[in-house]
Amino acid sequence: MSTLPKISGETMKLATFFSALKYEDLPESSHRAVRHFVLDTVACALHGRHTEWARIIEKWARENGAGVNQATVWGDDAPSLRVSDVALVNGTAAHAFELDDYHPVKHHPGAVVIPAALAMGEKLGSSGEDLITAIAAGYELMIRVSYAMDPTPTMLRGWHITGITGAFGSVAAAASLLKLDAEQTACAYGIAGTQASGLFAWLYDGAMTKRFHAGDAARAGIVAAELAALGYTGSKAIFEFENGGFLKAHSDNAVPAKLIEELGETWMLEGTSFKPYACCGSTHAYVDAAKNLRSRFGNLVEENLGRKVRMGLPHLLTVQCGFDYEPGTVLNGQMSMRYCVTSGFRYDGALPDEFTEEKLADPLNVAFAQAIEIEYDKKLDSIYPANFCGWVEVEKEPGKGEFDREFLLNASGSCHNPEKEKAMVAKYRALLEGIVPPEQRATVEAAIMDIESTDAKYLVNLMSCHLREAAE
């Protein structure tokens, strides 16, 4: 018998809460939000599956994991890999083109949680209600971990928040579906936390590893939950422990008590935003501002006539997205504030087709992007990232020094937009245009939007059969 004292800190409180969570404990607004998250993530993953970085991950999984047919890669017509490898493949595809959802706590929950939940749910034949509960648990825990950590200084250390918090989202979903008890769930969190990783060094050369972080986090959570179910132990104080606990290891500003703040009363998952543009979520308010200014000043990339363009960034964004623009990889363009704003002025958006090699290197785009002036706006530090804000301004008359500024507190994909759900459905249909015929898109859409009426295995099979036909 162990003589260690029973641990009853934040980790155990979270494990107790989420291991007991039921569908009826969630408000209808959270049920509705989860349905839309699934719809959005499925579209992102199918769109991203055929990118080079997603194909390489899938090739590796098939070469090294064939023969255990537990779950289905979205777009296939039958299970072909073990659950953890399917979560890796689908998670990477969902994060493959900067289209997946994001939360103001600076990460992307959908590309991690939903692939893990659908893969595990398919293997287990979980009910639709259990699936929604598991996804809600995954979003909520992943978001609360980043919230308690204080993500801005953590990012400035070089951590990619999706990579380091994602395993908690996927393990919460998987543990829920596996029906682990509180003790097992806490151990699963501990196993997930010790796998957590993700460095921002991909920004140096636009490396593929950013895309990998979401898939790897989805995989890590599955592994953690499955090990805990077999009796493997992990730290039951993974979040709050002073010597090597997750929060202390990643942040000097962490407040463990925030993990359980209003737990079960406030559902932070409902603050998740979606992406109408194929670029870093922090650029979206700036793209929106550029589009609004274009309506007043025209296509400045082709008709600039010497007007200056300036924008103000909080400190984190000057580091993350404010670098000098040079044509490079797709990811460099998607992370470049200068290029994304240029796309907003020239193309009236920053959609997937605006990140081709030709457009990234177009001389007009390059010249305009390089000429944009960026200034650090200290006032924005007190607003961002609670609000994904920003401003862009255009010189009213060339050489006069008077500017017309467009400031947005939140981007158009924000949870504050009352038209968000309608826009998410439109995005789903648009992303699958030319990939899935309209009648098949409608069938999949209807099934996802009525998840409670089916089970996870049937949903994935239905979805995948239709997507397979389209892919072929």
pLDDT tens for 371-428 read: 999 999 999 999 999 999 999 999 999 999 999 999 999 999 999 999 999 999 999 9
What is the rounded distance in angstroms from the CA atom of residue 121 to the CA atom of residue 176?
Answer: 10
Q: Taking the C-alpha atoms of 57, 63, 64 and 70 in order, what is their torsion angle to the nearest 10 degrees?
A: 80
Residue 163 maps to a domain: yes
Q: Are residues 231 and 286 in the same domain?
A: no
Range of the domain at 21: 10-271
pLDDT tens for 217-241 read 999 999 999 999 999 999 999 999 9
Is 450 a domain residue?
no
Cα(49)–Cα(92) distance, integer angstroms: 8
Q: Final residue of a domain: which of 379, 408, 437? A: 408
C-alpha pair distances (Å), 107 with each of 141, 167, 189, 320, 437? 12, 12, 18, 14, 32
Whether residues 260 and 286 fall in one domain: no
pLDDT for residue 7 = 59
pTM of the model: 0.95
Residue 398 placed within a domain: yes
With respect to residue 384, please indicate whether it lies within any of the assigned structural domains: yes
Residues 368 and 319 in one domain: yes
Q: Give the dihedral of Cα atoms 354, 360, 362, 363; nearest 10 deg.
A: 130
pLDDT in tens, 118-157: 999 999 999 999 999 999 999 999 999 999 999 999 999 9
Task: Tell me which of 374, 408, 442 is where a domain ends.
Answer: 408
Q: Look at residue 445 and tell me if it is in a domain.
A: no
Model confidence at 3: pLDDT above 70:
no
Res 339: pLDDT: 98
Lowest mean pLDDT across 49-63, 66-80, 157-171, 232-246:
66-80
Q: Which residues contact 419 (CB under 8 A, 6 or more apart)?
A: none
* H helices, E strands: number in the chain: 22, 4
Q: Is residue 469 part of a domain?
A: no
Residue 134 one-letter amino acid: A
298 and 247, same domain (yes or no): no
What whole-number distance in Å separates Cα of residue 183 and Cα of residue 212? 30
Quick one: 129 and 100 in the same domain?
Answer: yes
Residues 343 and 208 in one domain: no
Whole-angstrom distance, CA of residue 344 vs CA of residue 341? 5
Number of independent structural domains in the chain: 2
Question: Is the residue at 144 inside a domain?
Answer: yes
pLDDT reading at 176 higher than 80: yes
How confident is residue 214, by pLDDT bands cut at 50, 70 and 90?
Answer: very high
Instruction: Decide: 176 and 134 in contact? Cβ < 8 Å.
Output: yes
Let me know whether 86 and 209 are in one domain: yes
Q: Residues 308, 230: one domain?
A: no
Together in a domain, 249 and 330: no
Do 76 and 176 lie in a common domain? Answer: yes
Residue 454: inside a domain:
no
Same domain, yes or no, for 234 and 306? no
**The pLDDT of residue 438 is above 90:** no
CATH number at residue 349: 3.30.1330.120
Final residue in a domain of this structure, among 366, 391, 408 = 408
